[in-house]
Structure 1
Amino acid sequence: MAPIQPARAFGGGADRNEPRAPRNNVIPFPSSRVLLPVTLDCANAASTRERLAALLHSALGAYVAHTQAVHDGTRVGVRVQLDISPDDLDFAIHTLIATVPEAMVGHVKRRTA
């Protein structure tokens, strides 16, 4: 039978003289996100609300970062900005086409900060 060894106390005790890990060993997480602007253009406010509700209740609702109502006299619309990972871009486009096929997709831009 082996003799019982006392456990070393976590964060204290006689081993304070042991070298610690350097503080510069943290690797920053890359913020490689992109913004995908989407415009929902409709003839009236009721259909705009329906399309926006469909988008928000889909899997893309978690990616919505900003919405803005747009009025140009005869047409009503909503500009939606999706904040997504570049890896999810394919999923986002396919889900957008399946959910709101009338949506117009803008140019993808890299998110700053």
Structure 2
Amino acid sequence: MSIIGLGFDATDIPRVREVFARHGERFLRRVFTDEEIAYCTRQRDPVPSLAGRFAAKEAAMKALGTGHSRGVLWKDIEVFRRGGPPQLRLTGGALRRFEAMRAARSLLTITHADTLAMAQVLLLSD
């Protein structure tokens, strides 16, 4: 296996808190999938989880080499967890780019420290 994509992002949790307070549901619906919203809003304080997922989406876009353009939408990248480490579910433009890169799998890690949520994404080939 070879690393064919690498992305990292650090997201300011207070900034996400401010955007969430100002735009609420509009912000959530623009950036996150229904499953992500349900998971985060079950938390006592949803903002750190939202910030972690935001950082993961940014890191994934960097690993894909697309940034916020070239046909990849926020909701094309979903962060989910099924009893283990967080994982990415790619759809739409993100999945098309992943396949065009001939990636076989992705690895995601998310961490929080004080006022930052950080995420790293590796894309691996066979």
- Normalising by structure 2, we get a TM-score of 0.26
Larger radius of gyration: 1
